[in-house]
Structure 1
Amino acid sequence: MRNIVRIAAAMLVLNAVPALADGDAAKGEALFKRCSACHAIGEGAKNKIGPQLNGVVGRTAGTATDYNYSNAMKEAGAAGQIWTIEELRDFLSAPRKKIPGNKMAVAGITKPDDLENLVAYLQMFSGGN
């Protein structure tokens, strides 16, 4: 009986640990330079053409403070879209497909390693999510 309780407790702990991106955040930082024309991240980041991305992992879509989102992004958030690691991968690989009508002009990141590295970088600014 004790073993069953220990196994159940271990499973609860493992399920509570958020998923981590598999990429290299240092390489993701270099990739983010492409994004920095529209987005900011890090200390003092402010909204630009796109929203600032501090805390994006775990945030509800369309909810960064003081940013005027597209109706499509607001509706995605209202429908429960949360930016998990997996959801960010999907979105960044094909933004217009994932949320049609959003403002993001980039077609998407096609290289899996680049995608993983960029998501790892974003995760650094999301409180460890």
Structure 2
Amino acid sequence: MRLASPMLIATLLSLVAPIVQAEGNAEKGAKVFRKCKACHAVGALAKTGTGPVLTGVMDAAAMNDPDFQYSDALIKAAQDGLVWDEETLAAFLAKPRDFLRGTQMSFSGLRKESEIEDIIAYLAQQ
């Protein structure tokens, strides 16, 4: 049996690497989150505003801010088991109204996949 050379392996990995989803950068995500600050807050001292507090949102059941009045659409999604993980957050952040018809969130979404990955990394640290 003949083994592939290290050079061939490195070449193949360089071709496959772009296909693998890169993890986001939390520091860049903090900058992207500026787009969200008009409605949302994070951190120990965060207060509910136009939108819910997003502290602890990663891998949490939807509706984790008891002080926020959620839309009927989000209430139903939460009752159906919606959990905010990387996949669901990415879909929601890309196109909130497509992901959750009837959402009250007026933001149209993030267009750049890198911004979505970065903001998810940022929220994962909160």
- Give the equivalent residue in structure 1 for 2:31: 30
- Contact 2:25–2:117 (Cα < 8 Å) also in 1: yes
Specify the code of the residue in structure 2 equivalent to 1:56. V
Render the CA deviation track for 1:19-62: whole Å, top value 9, x for unaligned.
Answer: xx810000000110110000000120011000000010111112
**Structure 2 unaligned runs (5+)?**
1-21
2: CA distance, partners of 1:64 / 1:116: 23
1:84 matched to 2:85? The reply is: yes
Identity of aligned residues (%): 39
- Give the equivalent residue in structure 1 for 2:60: 59
1:117 matched to 2:123? The reply is: no
- Give the equivalent residue in structure 2 for 1:69: 70
1:95 matched to 2:99? The reply is: no
Question: Moved runs in structure 1, 4+ residues, more than 2 A?
Answer: none
Name the SS for the 1:119 alignment partner. Answer: helix
Counting matched residue pairs gives 105
Specify the code of the residue in structure 2 equivalent to 1:44. L
Q: CA deviation at 1:65?
A: 1.3
- Give the equivalent residue in structure 2 for 1:47: 48
TM-score (norm. length: structure 1): 0.78
Q: CA deviation at 1:63?
A: 3.3
- Give the equivalent residue in structure 2 for 1:107: 108
- Contact 2:57–2:64 (Cα < 8 Å) also in 1: no
- Contact 1:23–1:113 (Cα < 8 Å) also in 2: yes
TM-score (norm. length: structure 2): 0.80
Render the CA deviation track for 1:59-111: whole Å, top value 9, x for unaligned.
Answer: 11123211100000010000010001111001100100000101111111110
**Structure 1 unaligned runs (5+)?**
1-20
2: CA distance, partners of 1:45 / 1:63: 13
2: CA distance, partners of 1:47 / 1:58: 20
